[in-house]
Amino acid sequence: MNTNDTDFLADWAVSSGFGAVEGTGGVERQAASEADGQHRRWFAELLEAHGFSVRRDAIGNQFGLLELVPGAPYVLTGSHMDSQPTAGRFDGAYGVMASAHACFRIAEELRASPERARFNLAVVNWFNEEGSRFKPSMMGSSVFTGKLALEEALATTDPAGVTVQHALDALGERGELSELPVASYAEIHVQQGRSMEEDGVTIGLVNATWAAHKFEFRVTGEQAHSGSTLMNERRDALLGASRLIVAARELVDAFDEGALHTACGEISVYPNSPVVVASEVRLLIDLRSPSEAVIRDAYERMMAVVERVSREDRVAIEIVAEHAWDQNPYPEAGVELAREVAEQLGLSHGRVMTVAGHDSTNMKDSVPTIMLFVPSVNGVSHNLHEFTKDEDLLSGLDHLTGVIGRLAAGELVAPAPTPIA
Distance CA 203, CA 278 (A): 49
| Claim to verify: residue 172 and residue 244 sit in the same structural domain | no
Which residues neighbour 82 within 8 Å (Cβ) at sequence distance 6 or greater?
29, 30, 31, 32, 36, 92, 127, 128, 129, 130, 132, 133
Provide the pLDDT confidence category of residue 3 given band limits of 50, 70 and 90. Answer: confident
Nearest CA among 58, 63, 18 for reference residue 36: 18
The SS3 of residue 249 is helix
| Claim to verify: residue 239 and residue 206 sit in the same structural domain | no
**Which amino acid, one-letter code, is at 181?**
P
Distance CA 344, CA 371 (A): 18
The predicted structure's pLDDT at residue 88:
95
| Claim to verify: residue 203 and residue 108 sit in the same structural domain | yes
Total-model pTM: 0.91
Provide the pLDDT confidence category of residue 51 given band limits of 50, 70 and 90. Answer: very high
| Claim to verify: residue 193 and residue 61 sit in the same structural domain | yes
| Claim to verify: residue 215 and residue 151 sit in the same structural domain | no
Residues spanned by the domain of 234:
211-325
CA-to-CA separations, 131 to 32, 34, 59, 83, 266, in angstroms, rounded: 11, 16, 14, 9, 12
Average pLDDT value for residue range 156-173: 97
Scanning 172-291, the segments in alpha helix (DSSP H) are 195-199, 237-251
Neighbouring C-alpha atoms within 13 Å toward the C-beta of 17: 8
Cα torsion angle, 301, 355, 388, 358, sign: negative
The predicted structure's pLDDT at residue 92:
96
Q: Which long-range contacts (CB under 8 A, 24 or more apart) does 295-303 make?
A: 295/211, 295/212, 295/213, 295/260, 295/324, 295/326, 297/254, 297/255, 298/213, 298/251, 298/254, 298/255, 298/260, 298/262, 299/213, 301/251, 301/254, 302/215, 302/247, 302/248, 302/251
The predicted structure's pLDDT at residue 420:
55
| Claim to verify: residue 234 and residue 261 sit in the same structural domain | yes
Is residue 189 within 8 Å of 372, Cβ to Cβ? yes
| Claim to verify: residue 315 and residue 186 sit in the same structural domain | no
Distance CA 29, CA 19 (A): 5
The predicted structure's pLDDT at residue 323:
87
Average pLDDT value for residue range 191-197: 94
Distance CA 105, CA 127 (A): 25
CATH code where residue 234 lies: 3.30.70.360
Nearest CA among 371, 374, 368, 350 for reference residue 360: 371
Distance CA 186, CA 92 (A): 13
Distance CA 129, CA 147 (A): 14
Is residue 163 within 8 Å of 157, Cβ to Cβ? yes
| Claim to verify: residue 151 and residue 261 sit in the same structural domain | no
| Claim to verify: residue 280 and residue 359 sit in the same structural domain | no
pLDDT digits (tens, 9 = 90+) for 114-125: 999 999 999 999
Distance CA 236, CA 224 (A): 9
pLDDT for residue 357 is more than 90: no
CB atoms within 10 A of CB 326: 13
pLDDT digits (tens, 9 = 90+) for 22-48: 999 999 999 999 999 999 999 999 999
| Claim to verify: residue 341 and residue 412 sit in the same structural domain | yes
What's the chain's Rg over C-alpha atoms?
23
The SS3 of residue 404 is helix
Q: How many domains does the chain have?
A: 2
Which residues neighbour 253 within 8 Å (Cβ) at sequence distance 6 or greater?
none
pLDDT digits (tens, 9 = 90+) for 87-119: 999 999 999 999 999 999 999 999 999 999 999
Provide the pLDDT confidence category of residue 325 given band limits of 50, 70 and 90. Answer: confident
Distance CA 134, CA 137 (A): 7
The predicted structure's pLDDT at residue 13:
98
| Claim to verify: residue 251 and residue 391 sit in the same structural domain | no
Is residue 377 within 8 Å of 191, Cβ to Cβ? no
The SS3 of residue 323 is strand
